[in-house]
């Protein structure tokens, strides 16, 4: 069933078109003039608009212009008693997809409307495909593969739970420290589920301000707020028929918590600035490093939303609780990154592995991956040695399973990763003898990005002009 708007100031003709299209199974709204039509369209866009050409006030051409300005994808059929080529050309130039000449039979009207609805459907599919492609491209850089690595008992237990949970459509809450691989669990749930042929869509909740997060989740209509120059499909719409992964769900503000709860309960959304209710078929997987039960007690997270999200809980163990997986993970990351970073390297020597084992890994698997990738940049042999590892790993440090205090354990993960980046840049800068273009090549980044980082970490004064040539 399509939503159709009929505009005609002639009561008999307007009512006749309404009856014909309603009997064809469509939901029809009818108005007498252009201003009423625009007001109705702003509330909830229609699949197709049928407008008379000659009307008091705004004529059909003006209505078409205004609708196309409001929604570039609007599909407009013009009705005219003046069946001249000039009229048809003018209507088409202003954005109408076709015209129909009075008098016409109900069959002719239905045929023209079916043609317009087919066009509207095609445009919607293209719009959704483009949006999904953009979302996939933005997410691709953060993807770390599609499977978890580990033979330890905690990981085997988690893998077994993930396989069972994948067959259900229930919401899943994945808990674990930062860097443990919560997104990988979400991807595995999707790929092993009956929804595997549908989209997998990611929202990183902590990275978005409140107003942007609402628009990202639910979409918005054109003109909903400053900068909303066109309609945007939300991630729930893009994930229809598939899985939506909400990373760091504990960071969403109370106003968005309320709207998210409604979506989980009712399986429907409203775009920001819109009044149309849209049904969605989405399996939600969320993740957090926070203790949401404690957040509920503190009044920072809705209890009813917590129980909606927590139907199937999965817990990812930190790396320090599965030390037997470290060697397997390190070799996995060498195999993953060496073809792109340093094709000569095929593995790690025993001293390098022992040095990795002695570290406490407060940044978990993500920190280990960053360290291996950094070592690959500077390795000159066919295996990684302790000389290739960052300096903080080659000194005396407690074993990760020794029960001793975790080095840097009181520091947030972003600070730890920033230190690693600073060390990586320093080593590349030294190896390139201070040549910026060579440093950028070693790091695999643009020279402009390198200048920003060199200034950020104090290697260059602020405002240093780029090298020429």
Map out the domains of the chain with their CATH numbers: 3-121 (3.40.50.2300), 142-317 (3.40.50.300), 320-431 (1.10.8.60)
Q: Max Cα separation, the chain?
A: 91
Specify whether the CB–CB gap between 294 and 137 falls below 8 A: no
Where do we find the tokens 């926070």?
A: 290
What is residue 469's three-state secondary structure?
A: coil
Q: Which residues, including other chains, have CB under 8 Å from residue 9's CB and lie 6 or more apart? A: 32, 33, 52, 55, 56
**What are the φ/ψ torsions at residue 371 (nearest 5 degrees)?**
-65, -45
Specify whether the CB–CB gap between 171 and 284 falls below 8 A: yes
Give residue 76's pLDDT: 94
User: Quick one: DSSP state of residue 239?
Assistant: T
Q: Residue 153, class by beta-carbon neighbours within 10 Å (0-12 exposed, 13-18 middle, 19+ buried)?
A: exposed
Packed helices 350-358 and 364-378: angle between N→C axes, nearest 10 degrees: 150
Structure tokens at 189: 């749930």
Structure tokens at 378: 């500077």
Bond from prior residue into 103 cis (ω within 30 degrees of 0): yes
For the chain, how far is it from start to end, CA to CA, in angstroms?
A: 62
CA–CA separation, 356 and 323 (whole Å): 10
Packed helices 254-266 and 210-218: angle between N→C axes, nearest 10 degrees: 10
Q: Which residues, including other chains, have CB under 8 Å from residue 83's CB and lie 6 or more apart? A: 101
Residues in the chain where the model's pLDDT stays below 50: 137-146, 396-410, 469
Structure tokens at 463: 């405002």
pTM of the predicted model as reported, rounded to 2 decimal places: 0.62
Give residue 114's pLDDT: 93
Give residue 119's pLDDT: 86
Structure tokens at 235: 């991630």
315 bridge partner residues = 175
Structure tokens at 288: 């957090």
């Amino acid at each position: 069933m399509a939503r159709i708007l009929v505009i005609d100031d002639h009561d008999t003709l307007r009512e006749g078109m309404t009856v014909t299209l309603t009997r064809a199974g469509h939901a029809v709204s009818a108005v007498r003039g252009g201003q009423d039509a625009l007001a109705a369209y702003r509330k909830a866009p229609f699949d197709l608009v049928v407008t008379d050409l000659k009307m008091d006030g705004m004529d059909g051409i003006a209505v078409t212009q205004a609708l196309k300005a409001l929604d570039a994808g609007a599909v407009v059929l013009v009705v005219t008693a003046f069946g001249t080529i000039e009229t048809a050309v003018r209507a088409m130039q202003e954005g109408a997809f076709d015209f129909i000449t009075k008098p016409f039979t109900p069959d002719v009207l239905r045929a023209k409307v079916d043609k317009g609805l087919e066009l509207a459907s095609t445009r919607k599919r293209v719009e959704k495909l483009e949006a999904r492609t953009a979302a996939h491209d933005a997410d691709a850089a953060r993807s770390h593969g599609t499977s978890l690595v580990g033979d330890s008992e905690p990981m085997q237990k988690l893998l077994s739970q993930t396989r069972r949970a994948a067959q259900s459509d229930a919401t899943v809450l994945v808990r674990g420290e930062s860097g443990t691989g919560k997104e990988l669990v979400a991807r595995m749930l999707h790929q092993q589920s009956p929804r595997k042929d549908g989209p997998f869509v990611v929202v990183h909740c902590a990275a978005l301000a409140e107003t942007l997060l609402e628009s990202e989740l639910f979409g918005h209509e054109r003109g909903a707020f400053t900068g909303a120059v066109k309609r945007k499909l939300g991630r729930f719409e893009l994930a229809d028929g598939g899985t939506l992964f909400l990373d760091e769900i504990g960071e969403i503000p109370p106003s968005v918590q309320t709207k998210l709860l409604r979506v989980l309960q009712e399986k429907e959304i409203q775009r920001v600035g819109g009044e149309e209710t849209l049904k969605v078929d989405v399996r939600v997987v969320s993740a957090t490093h926070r203790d949401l039960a404690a957040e509920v007690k503190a009044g920072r997270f809705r209890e009813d939303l917590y129980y909606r999200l927590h139907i199937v809980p999965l817990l990812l163990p930190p790396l320090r609780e599965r030390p037997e997986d470290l060697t397997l993970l390190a070799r996995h990351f060498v195999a993953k990154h060496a073809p792109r970073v340093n094709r000569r390297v095929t593995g790690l020597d025993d001293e390098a592995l022992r040095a990795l084992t002695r570290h406490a890994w407060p940044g978990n698997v993500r920190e280990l991956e960053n360290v291996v990738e950094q070592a690959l940049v500077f390795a000159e042999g066919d295996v990684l040695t302790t000389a290739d590892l960052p300096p903080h790993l080659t000194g005396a440090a407690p074993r990760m399973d020794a029960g001793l205090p975790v080095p840097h354990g009181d520091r947030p993960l972003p600070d730890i990763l920033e230190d690693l980046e600073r060390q990586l840049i320093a080593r590349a800068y030294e190896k390139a003898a201070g040549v910026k273009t060579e440093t950028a090549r070693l790091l695999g980044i643009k020279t402009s990005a390198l200048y920003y980082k060199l200034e950020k970490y104090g290697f260059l004064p602020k405002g240093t002009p780029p090298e020429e040539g």
